[in-house]
A and B are shown apart, each in its own frame.
Chain A
Amino acid sequence: MSTSDHDRRSGRPPARSDASPWNWLLVIPVILPLLPFLYNAEEPRLLGFPLFYWLQLAFIVAGVTATTIVYRVTRKRNGR
């Protein structure tokens, strides 16, 4: 993964990378919905919704939070 000839020739900065410790946040919303023992129950209810339904809908919020944080910290600096 060394800097390619092309980069040196055209004088562009060395290879960029998508690596960031923040990316690990993305693992959380992928794992949560795969654990049915967390949500496969009726109690406690919320607004009449059994746990099974409201908790899985709440996982959407976990997903949005994780992807939003990673997007914000890794987006291009200085905007464009």
Chain B
Amino acid sequence: MSEHLTEIIVFTVLFLLVSGMGFVAARWRRPQDLASLNEWGLGGRNFGAWITWFLVGGDLYTAYTFVAVPALVFGAGAMGFFAVPYTVIVYPMVFLVLIRLWSVSHVHGFVTPADFVRARFGSPTLALLVALTGIAATMPYIALQLVGIEAVLKAMGVSGHLPIVIAFAILAAYTYRSGLRAPALIAFVKDTLIYLVILVAIIYIPARLGGWGAIFGAAQEKFAATPAKGDGLLLGAGNQWQYVTLALGSALALFLYPHSLTGVLASRNRDVIKRNMSALPAYSLLLGLIALLGYMAIAAGVRPVGGDSNTVVPRLFDMMFPDWFTGVAYAAVGIGALVPAAIMSIAAANLFTRNIYREYLRPDATDAQEAQVSKLVSLAVKVGAVLCILLLDLQFAIDLQLIGGVVILQTLPAVALGLYTRWLHPRALIAGWAAGMGAGLWMLYTIGNPATGKAHFAGSAFPLSNLGLETATTVYAGLLALAVNLAVAVAGTLICRAAGVAKGADTTRPDHYHADEGDPRVKDLDLAGST
């Protein structure tokens, strides 16, 4: 432990500094009153381009990403690079969709995607399913952020769960107090540290390892020596489709996660969102470079701590950097876990408050009551995440997160298509959701990995040979499940229409999807309409 003393001191100092910022954030941008979801849960819906950039970037590119993506590249090579096409596709794809969602949410005061579904389809059941799906997909993601911190602690020789419990207790306390303002403020520090560390890493480490040619060469040698077919510097015949479908499926899923939408809804106007769609790819470049740390680790001869490949990047930093800078790098990863964990717990809490508490338990809840419930639920969510790590296997959280991506995709027909059309019948959407969930979980269940001896939930690459097709091709299970979902939803809609099944009312109107900052909101419209 003593050999890592400098690292531990630097890490602790930066961590405490950031925690202090989290508490001060309640006063930042002076809200008159934090006792409403608009203020506590969405930071007053008033964030400009810069804050949104740091907030959304800090939220989407999590500590787990920074640790797991290079670990994947370290182990499998090209396949791990899917994170780059994934984050290239996502922004142009959601560009026009998100501004519609922002507008209609602005007019109606929606806080969650389930709020929108409730108003659009007039179906409380469908909204409940969307909310529960969101919570189920988010919870393991929060737990995974602990993996990022744990990887760093392991590399510093710190063992035991106590440090993680303390870190999360601090996180829970300032999120409770400051709401979304805390991660928004901390994101500035987190991202500055990450950019600094990675820029230094991609200039300094290759120079020490003999240049990029030598790094790729070392990786080439390593993969050539392994018997596994799926690894290598390039994609093979069997995993090209998996690469492409995983990138596309992940891109489709990203902004269905409630925590991604929290950052979007907190922005001031439509232009802020559009501008961010062209500015956020800066993080994609960062992520691409981070992925290559996996190859640097191969070239440097890194051996993961205790066989845990998530420690590859922390070990690489430890070998390459002077102690004090390693401490900074570790702090960047550790703090990197706090921003997404805070936003995710806020998003999950908002879903519970708006779509379960207010819908089913207390329809006449005031703004202040909503905010109070959300604050308490955000605490409960974090306690749950810590318990998940303490009581269950870490692998369990990773499995759940894998399932989470497949699961959240099943809300696409209601949330994303719903922004454009309500042709699909709510009952058919429910049936499609159920079919997609069933198909997705079944596919994941059948995926094993002979190399690790894991029989189920060993990955998201579904071999088409499991369906009886004679091919080595694998495809991302989430996208196949979504296809099943859509097919059932369309067929169900045709049946519902033929049978004349009534559907709920739509309280949104076409012009609501183009509203911008300063346009009247529904509360104002009701007043105007009654005169």
Interface residues of A (CB under 8 A from B): 1, 4, 6-7, 9-10, 15-18, 23, 26-30, 32-34, 36, 40-42, 45, 47-50, 52-53, 56-57, 59-60, 62-64, 66-68, 70-71, 74-76, 80
Residue from B212, B213, B215, B240 within 8 A of A36 (CB atoms): B240
10 A-B pairs closest in CB distance: A33-B85, A48-B212, A48-B213, A67-B278, A26-B92, A68-B278, A16-B514, A71-B274, A67-B277, A29-B92
Closest partner residue, chain A, to B92 (CB atom): A26
Q: Which residues of A contact B213 (CB under 8 A)?
A: 45, 48
Residues 240-280 of B, flagged 1 when their CB comes within 8 A of A and 0 if not, give 10011001100000000000000000000111001101100
A72 to B324, CA, bound (A): 43
Q: State whether the Cβ of B357 lies closer than 8 Å to any Cβ in chain A.
A: no
- B92 A36 Cβ-Cβ under 8 A: no
- A41 B234 Cβ-Cβ under 8 A: yes
Tally of A-B residue pairs with Cβ under 8 A?
134
A7 to B529, CA, bound (A): 11
Q: How far is the CB of B271 from chain A (nearest CB, A)?
A: 5
Interface segment out of the listed B93-101, B176-184, B305-313 = B93-101
With A47-B212, A60-B288 in contact, do A7 and B235 touch (Cβ < 8 Å)? no
Instruction: Show 12 residue pairs from A and B whose CB-CB distance is below 8 angstroms, ordered by the A residue.
Output: A15-B511, A26-B93, A28-B92, A42-B233, A48-B211, A56-B81, A56-B288, A60-B288, A63-B88, A63-B91, A63-B284, A70-B274
- On chain B, the number of residues with a Cβ less than 8 Å from chain A's Cβ atoms is 51
With A18-B514, A48-B216, A63-B88 in contact, do A30 and B93 touch (Cβ < 8 Å)? yes
Q: State whether the Cβ of B510 lies closer than 8 Å to any Cβ in chain A.
A: yes
Q: Which residues of A contact B84 (CB under 8 A)?
A: 33, 56-57, 59-60
- A4 B510 Cβ-Cβ under 8 A: yes
Q: State whether the Cβ of B200 lies closer than 8 Å to any Cβ in chain A.
A: no
- A80 B517 Cβ-Cβ under 8 A: yes
Q: How far is the CB of B249 from chain A (nearest CB, A)?
A: 11
Q: How far is the CB of B104 from chain A (nearest CB, A)?
A: 12
Q: Which residues of B contact A17 (CB under 8 A)?
A: 514
Closest partner residue, chain B, to A41 (CB atom): B234
Q: How far is the CB of A25 from chain B (nearest CB, A)?
A: 8
- A7 B511 Cβ-Cβ under 8 A: yes
Q: How far is the CB of A46 from chain B (nearest CB, A)?
A: 9
Q: State whether the Cβ of B525 lies closer than 8 Å to any Cβ in chain A.
A: yes
Q: Which residues of B contact A53 (CB under 8 A)?
A: 81, 216, 288, 292
A68 to B85, CA, bound (A): 18
With A52-B234, A56-B85, A63-B91 in contact, do A36 and B288 touch (Cβ < 8 Å)? no
A4 to B211, CA, bound (A): 63
Q: How far is the CB of B415 from chain A (nearest CB, A)?
A: 18
With A48-B211, A60-B84 in contact, do A6 and B233 touch (Cβ < 8 Å)? no
- A36 B235 Cβ-Cβ under 8 A: yes
- B96 A26 Cβ-Cβ under 8 A: yes
- B100 A18 Cβ-Cβ under 8 A: yes
Closest partner residue, chain A, to B288 (CB atom): A57
A76 to B517, CA, bound (A): 11
Q: State whether the Cβ of B78 lies closer than 8 Å to any Cβ in chain A.
A: yes
Closest partner residue, chain B, to A37 (CB atom): B240
- B99 A18 Cβ-Cβ under 8 A: yes
- B511 A6 Cβ-Cβ under 8 A: yes
Residue from A42, A48, A59, A76 within 8 A of B88 (CB atoms): A59
Residue from A23, A33, A42, A74 within 8 A of B89 (CB atoms): A33
Q: State whether the Cβ of B281 lies closer than 8 Å to any Cβ in chain A.
A: yes
A-contacting residues, B188-227, CB 8 Å? 211-216
With A26-B96, A34-B244 in contact, do A60 and B525 touch (Cβ < 8 Å)? no
Q: State whether the Cβ of B30 lies closer than 8 Å to any Cβ in chain A.
A: no
Q: Which residues of A contact B525 (CB under 8 A)?
A: 6
- B529 A6 Cβ-Cβ under 8 A: yes
A57 to B282, CA, bound (A): 11
- What 7 additional pairs, Cβ within 8 angstroms, besides A48-B215, A52-B235? A15-B510, A18-B96, A23-B96, A48-B216, A60-B87, A66-B92, A71-B275
Closest partner residue, chain B, to A58 (CB atom): B88
Residue from A6, A33, A66 within 8 A of B247 (CB atoms): A33
A-contacting residues, B71-86, CB 8 Å? 78, 81, 84-85
Q: Which residues of A contact B115 (CB under 8 A)?
A: none
Q: Which residues of B contact A66 (CB under 8 A)?
A: 92
Q: How far is the CB of A78 from chain B (nearest CB, A)?
A: 12
Closest partner residue, chain B, to A20 (CB atom): B96
